[in-house]
A and B are shown apart, each in its own frame.
Chain A
Amino acid sequence: MVDNSELDDIPGTTVFTAERSRQGYHLNQMCMSLMKAENRDRFHADERAYLDEWPMSEEQKQAVLDRDFQRMLDLGGNVYFLSKIFASDGLSYVQAVSTMTEYTVEEYQAMMLAGGRSPDGWRSKSERPS
């Protein structure tokens, strides 16, 4: 078996491994389908019906319906694919990505303008307060 313990030790980070890619295949391919305008229209007209056309797990479908991006990552989603969902909602990367952090969009933007999130305290789970 491959040893992913180092990857899993990075806090607040879901590395998109081959194993996660396998798990998230249909979720990510569904996201990819939203590149087409007619599919975006059908998705937004009835999200549940659109998702039911894909062999995704119920948990994955619910995470999409909830726009719970962290949950989608946990279930094998990759952010470049998930971006098709939030782009179709009219959200930018900053707007969508900030929802996975402790900050509001405004706070997140302020953090970026001030030089971004410092890596200090974020290199290893052992550095995080439990």
Chain B
Amino acid sequence: MARITAGLTTSHVPAIGMAVDLGKTEEPYWQPVFAGYEWTKKWADAEPPDVVILVYNDHASAFDLSVIPTFALGTAASFQPCDEGYGPRPVPVVEGHPELAAHLAQSLILDEFDLTLINELDVDHGLTVPMSLVYGQPEAWPTKVIPLAVNVVQYPAPTGRRCFNLGKAIRRAVESYEEDLSVQVWGTGGMSHQIQGARAGLINQEWDNRFLDLVVSDPEAAASIPHIEYLRETGSEGIEMVMWLIMRGALGERVQELHRFYHVPASNTAVGHLVLEPVD
């Protein structure tokens, strides 16, 4: 039987990807950011899972405004890194897991989560930056990835509650897959940031740290946070944090916190990162 072995959340700031690609990770500006992932890299290298269900959002890279799926599952065998206008990132091709993805698609839709299924998908920094943060710069990624793209660009994003419940459904779906696979769920994006308007540059460290606590210990409360609170308190782009709740829903009621990191700033953004293990 497949099982969910761990969950992870991380910001996915594009400039972090550029720092990796351009060899700037030791520069004074970036060093403290990457230092926060040293523990995670060791943990990740020790035991990479068979599959990561990677929850992220596209940033007007693969998706334009012609179709705006709220939840879209990548069911392909592989996913190329997008050209986001500067040429594709020099990172390995992301290998999918079409069999598990097909099983997830069927289970989740019958469980009343009406996903969009995507058989052709290029993945942008929202997905590849977390891979770089956790696995560095390998020749090939050590794990297969099923992308789960969430619309957080056009308001409204799905509610936190909906994301949390989707995570719970993902757990049920994974646990009903026969093959013995270890599966992690990653929730990416956030934390507080706003990259538009006169209020740009907003960072709310107090709120972010409370959210980190809630995600670990009181996810029900985190799932009840309404959109307007994210927008007011964490900036217009802080709404990405609803994606963390998909990860948290998939881990079950209680978790053990293995690692936590918080740093301001990376470019315009507060970087937050958790590694969690389910406690059965």
Contacts and interface: CB of A to CB of B under 8 A. Distances in A.
B265 A113 contact: yes
A117 B195 contact: no
Contact of B154 (A21, A69, A103): A21
A13 B196 contact: yes
B195 A93 contact: yes
B201 A117 contact: yes
A7 interface: yes
A35 B231 contact: no
Kindly name the residue among B59, B228, B236 whose own CB sees the greatest number of chain A CB atoms within 10 A. B236
Most chain A CB inside 10 Å of its own CB: which residue of B14, B86, B155: B155
A94 interface: yes
A100 B200 CA distance: 8
B13 to A, nearest CB: 9
Given A13-B194, A13-B196, A80-B59, A97 B201 contact: yes
A24 to B, nearest CB: 8
Interface string A21-62: 100010011011011000000000000000000000000000
Interface string B181-221: 00000000000101111111111110100000000000000
A31 B194 CA distance: 20
A76 B205 CA distance: 30
A11 B228 contact: no
Contacts of A6: 228
A10 B233 CA distance: 10
Nearest to A79: B196
Contact of B228 (A7, A29, A35, A93): A7
A129 interface: no
A119 B232 contact: yes
Contact of B85 (A34, A94, A102, A124): A34
A49 B190 CA distance: 38
Contacts of A14: 196-197, 236
B139 interface: no
Nearest to B264: A115
B85 A87 contact: yes
Interface residues of B, number: 41
A11 B59 CA distance: 24
B196 A115 contact: no
B200 A101 contact: yes
Nearest to A22: B65
A102 B198 contact: yes
B264 A73 contact: no
B60 interface: yes
Nearest to A72: B196
B77 to A, nearest CB: 24
A12 B264 contact: no
Which of A93, A97, A115, A116: most chain B Cβ within 10 A? A116
Given A7-B231, A119-B232, A124-B232, A87 B86 contact: yes
A23 to B, nearest CB: 11
A108 B205 CA distance: 18
Given A116-B270, A117-B203, 19 more contacts: A10-B231, A12-B200, A13-B196, A13-B236, A35-B61, A78-B60, A83-B60, A87-B85, A93-B268, A94-B268, A97-B196, A97-B201, A97-B268, A100-B197, A115-B203, A117-B201, A117-B202, A118-B204, A123-B232
Interface of A: 6-7, 10-18, 21, 25, 28-29, 31-32, 34-35, 69-70, 73, 78-81, 83-84, 87-88, 92-94, 97-98, 100-103, 108, 111-113, 115-119, 122-124
6 contacts: A70-B197, A73-B196, A93-B195, A108-B201, A119-B207, A122-B202
Closest CB pairs A-B (n = 6)? A116-B203, A12-B198, A12-B199, A80-B60, A117-B201, A79-B196
